[in-house]
Structure 1
Amino acid sequence: MTSPTTVTKPTKPTKPTTRAEARTSQVVTPRRRPLSRVGDAMLVLAAATGALCIALTIAAAVFDIRVTLFSTGSMSPTIPAGAAAVARGIPASEVRVGDVVTVERAGKLPITHRVTSVVAVPDGDPEARRITMRGDANVVEDPFPYDVERVRIVMFSVPGIAPLIDGVGTPPVMAGVTGAATVLVVAIFWPRRDRGDRSRRRRPRGRA
């Protein structure tokens, strides 16, 4: 004979019997405050900006890369006034006619123009070159040639951002950015209790 098979019915979940148990059985999911979301976005932006600054610092030190701001239109329309150009340092022996290069001048601001001729410097360093240059918007060449051993060749330029870059470096803007960053950090990390935590910490009161 075979023994009768016992069928176990699935048990239904028990319902809370009191209001206190109903409150405690609910899972409270704390909602993030708008300030917290804005703070996270600002922190991501600050981290990206910091990473970019670090990358530019390393590039400047290792590859001799500099950013040149154009306040005049002597290189228009190729590089208009208000543009910023990224230039890389190269030996003067690598300069070719048609290159746009930046030349350092003793006691004066650097000048960035297009090379019109390149020759060796008589009785000079074998790596040195005597170059003449002219701005694309100018009708005549620069008054004097330049004897150089190293120049910075322009790789690319971005129009219209020179005022922004120049303004960021001013003391008022730097002070404002520092103050805003300080307020943001304090607002994000200031200790505060969440409503969800308070509701979970309440002791349920049962019926007498």
Structure 2
Amino acid sequence: MGTRPRHRLESDGASSRRGIYRRAAGRAGSLGLTVLSVLGAACIACILASVLFKVSFVVFRTGSMEPSYPVGALAAVREVPASSLKPGDVATVQRTAGSVPVTHRVVTVMPDAASADGAVLILKGDANTSEDPVEYRVQSARTMLFAVPELGSWVMGARSPWAIGGSTVLLAGLVGWVFWPRQELITSDGGSSEGGAAEPAGEVPVGTAALR
């Protein structure tokens, strides 16, 4: 039985290792695309919830609601008539369209004689020793649905220009890697090779005499 040349064995081993590396990189790229697809689907779901159910998101940037809602927590809130709020609810309100939203716990809800759905609210932060110094006369408010600690910090960080640019480059690289055309080269003994493609079976190269 003949022995395959050493250089052929070394070439086959190197080709095998390169094939393993390529397959591993391909799986990593596919996994990255899957993760990005899931995140994209989550973003679409958030947009649909915002449009259909008036759901939005707020980030706690101060510690006025600690320990229940620490700094950096992300909360999902839904817009409701102010008159539907009850003491103990956590609500996000704005006194005017240009004012900074405040998310505190409702202490008192008083009817607003000027509006059927409006109310006069007295709020207080859980970590504060006293109620807010002003009353909130509002037509609507956003009531708390749920909150996730720390997630808001990640969301705010993802909005930075560096994060957006980096994620765009990463996505483009993953798409290019996964869909870049590849061609498997086959040797005469059926194995993969980087040296060149095998000649089609049943054909005789030009200038070579066929044996009969």
TM-score, normalisation: structure 1: 0.78
Aligned to 1:68: 58
Q: Could you list the structure 1 runs, at least 4 aligned residues long, displaced by more than 2 angstroms after superposition.
A: 105-108, 195-208
Asked whether 1:133 is paired with 2:123, we answer yes
- Secondary structure of the 1:115 match is strand
Q: Aligned with 1:114: secondary structure?
A: strand
Distance 1:196 1:139 in 2: 77
Aligned length: 178
SS across alignment from 2:44: helix
Partner Cα separation in structure 2 for residue 173 and residue 114 of structure 1: 34
Secondary structure of 1:109's aligned partner: coil
Aligned match for 1:188, one of 169, 173, 178: 178
Amino acid at match of 2:31: A
Contact 2:95 2:137 in 1 (8 A): no
The match for 1:118 is 109
User: 2-side partners of 1:191 and 1:171: how far apart?
Assistant: 32
Task: Describe the superposition over 1:115-162 as per-residue Cα deviations: whole angstroms up to 9, x where unpaired.
Answer: 00011113x011111110000001111011111111000111111222
Instruction: Give deviations 1:42-75, integer Å, cap 9, x for gaps.
Output: 1211211111111000001111111111111100
**2-side partners of 1:169 and 1:194: how far apart?**
41
1:10-63 CA distances to partner (integer Å, 9 max, x unpaired)? xxxxxxxxxxxxxxxxxxxx9771121112111211211111111000001111
Question: Which protein is bigger by CA-based radius of gyration?
Answer: 1
Distance 2:165 2:129 in 1: 44
Q: Deviations over 1:64-115 (max 9, x none)?
A: 1111111111001111112111111111121001100000232321000000
CA shift in 2, pair 1:135/1:195, >3 Å: same
Rounded to whole Å, the distance in 2 between the matches of 1:196 and 1:40 is 25
Bigger relative contact order, structure 1 or 2, given CA contacts below 8 A and separation 6+? 1
What amino acid sits opposite 2:125 in the alignment? Answer: G
Q: Are 2:79 and 1:82 equivalent residues in the alignment?
A: no
Q: Secondary structure at the match of 2:131?
A: coil
Unaligned runs of 5+ in 1: 1-29
Choose the corresponding residue for 1:168, options 134, 137, 158. Answer: 158
Percent identity over the alignment? Answer: 35
* Backbone CA RMSD of aligned residues: 2.4
SS in 2 for 1:105: coil
Partner residue in 2 for 1:43: 33
Structure 1 equivalent of residue 4 of structure 2: none
Match of residue 203 from structure 1: 200
How far, CA to CA, are the matches of 1:82 and 1:102 in structure 2? Answer: 16
State the Cα distance separating 1:203 from its structure 2 match. Answer: 3.2
Q: Which amino acid aligns with 1:113?
A: H
